[in-house]
Amino acid sequence: MLTAKRFKLTRRKMLSYLDGLDAADEQAITLYLPAGVAQAEISAHLERVPAVASIRIELSKGISASQTGAVLLWGQSRRLILPPFPQREKYLTSGYDVSPLRLLLTRDFRIGIVLVRLGSFSIGVCEGDRLIEHKAGTGLVHGRHRQGGSSAARFQRRRGEQAHQFLLRVAGHAEEKLALYAKTLDFLVYGGARTTIQELRKLSKFLVQFDDRLLPPLLSIPDPRYEVLEEAVTDIWSSHVTEWLEDPAD
């Protein structure tokens, strides 16, 4: 029986892992699929991969849910890799073919980063995994009022206005920091609460131009500070990995 283990690998660790597979002399299968492939086609490809029958449904769901495509490396090493950036390849071959994935991870993409939670923000640009531009700041947005009555309604209106003004400021700072790179950004990524990100995007005509090159958002970040922005760069470049291991009890 195979047991799934899920984790993330940073850019450096993933490249080291791929180097190890390059040197491996063993039978294996490699499958590359881009995002957006129909479930039926995914299943058809997986039927050609030996020894995955028991986890084929799990694999198919993992691949179809990915916004960046998937790479299945199946031999003594059994891993499904969801890369940090969209990969466009679609083929199945024998052996460990890691060249397209390595090429993707060695490109020094230029990425805009907008992290925002009500009351704090960080904006940056990274080239590869190195920050080349950054700005962080705060703004007054009161916490939620827990009591009822007319005072609570006034408080909520005031809080809504504070949030609106804060997000307008963030939109202005984003344009200030990203405008110079607008034509050269490969991707943009947002981070923070989903509803806050949505409101910010509604308020910024400037940010709309990047809607065709968005990476999956970072929804679990804490209040954005410079340190959080640095950690976000590492996260952006990390691959999501599922590895299947033999259950030792079998």
List, for residues 141-179, the tens digit of each pLDDT value.
Answer: 555 555 554 455 665 677 668 888 899 999 999 999 999
Tokens of 236: 């952006």
According to the model, what pLDDT value does residue 155 have? 54
* pLDDT for 50: 80
Domain boundaries, the chain: 2-106, 110-236
Whole-number Å distance between alpha carbons of 87 and 202: 29
Region 110-236: CATH code: 3.30.420.60
How many CA atoms, within 13 angstroms, populate the side-chain half-sphere of residue 22?
A: 11
The pTM of the full predicted model, rounded to 2 decimals, is 0.90
Euclidean distance between CA atoms 126 and 113, whole angstroms: 8
CATH superfamily to which 2-106 belongs? eRF1 domain 1 (3.30.960.10)
Question: 4 is written with which tokens?
Answer: 């799934």
Q: Which of 180, 170, 178 is nearest to 203 (CA)?
A: 170
Residue whose entry in the numeric block shows the structure tokens 């954005």: 224
Burial of 127 (0-12, 13-18, 19+ CB in 10 A): middle
Q: Is 223 helix (H, G, I), strand (E, B) or coil?
A: coil
| Helical H segments across 34-116, by residue range | 39-46, 56-65, 99-106
Rounded to an integer, what distance in angstroms lies between the CA atom of residue 54 and that of residue 80?
A: 15
Q: Which residues of the chain have pLDDT under 50?
A: 149-150
